[in-house]
Amino acid sequence: MKYTIDRRFKGLLPVVIDIETAGFDPNENALLEVAAVFMNYDEGILQPIHIFHEHVIPEPGLELDEAALEFTQIIPDHPFRMAKPEAEVIQLLNEEISKYMDFLGCSRSVLVGHNGQFDLSFLQAAAERHQLPLQLHRFLVMDTATLSAALLGETVLAKAVRKARLPFDDAQAHGALYDATITSELFSKLIQQADASRIRSGSGRSSG
């Protein structure tokens, strides 16, 4: 039987997500950008099959921290951002998650991210503001920072990526699309390493 993504992750669909924000408080600072990489498990390797990427119009009443904007280099009112309202972006993300859960035979989805609880907290706050569901596990996160600490001895994204022998472009870092993409590549490497370790230890791949 083919070892599919739903079997590898016990019915869960890992969705690699990165966001950019105007601060650190999900209830006070605006969500500005969301990127998600959908992956399939093909011949024992996680491969990207679809990328979701949207810029977000800052929700009225939320704060835009100048230090955060300087760090990300995001200009919230720039016309070429082609940003969409926060509620619309959450709805579109939900639709994509549901679509790929059905396509890949998964019953639930889980956020994969580097320090992913941060990303999840902002998405949950945005969904709550608009009384929308969020098609992601409420508290479970597959955190590549934690996985990298265990398997590579690194926690910083750039250092973990390079330790995994992947290229990292500092000039593109801190954009949601680039960070989600490179995090998906890191996650794939980490899962490969974990699978290889299980096989070497004699446990093999679980079929349950």
Q: Which residues are marked as active site?
A: 174
- Are the C-beta atoms of 127 and 155 separated by less than 8 Å? no
3-state class (DSSP) for residue 134: coil
3-state class (DSSP) for residue 142: strand
Instruction: Identify any residues that bridge with 110 across adjacent strands, giving them in sequence order.
Output: 14
Rounded Cα distance, 17 and 110, in Å: 10
Instruction: Identify any residues that bridge with 33 across adjacent strands, giving them in sequence order.
Output: 20, 55
For residues 9-32, b (16+ Cβ closer than 10 Å) or e, as one string?
Answer: beebbbbbbbbbbbbeebeebbbb
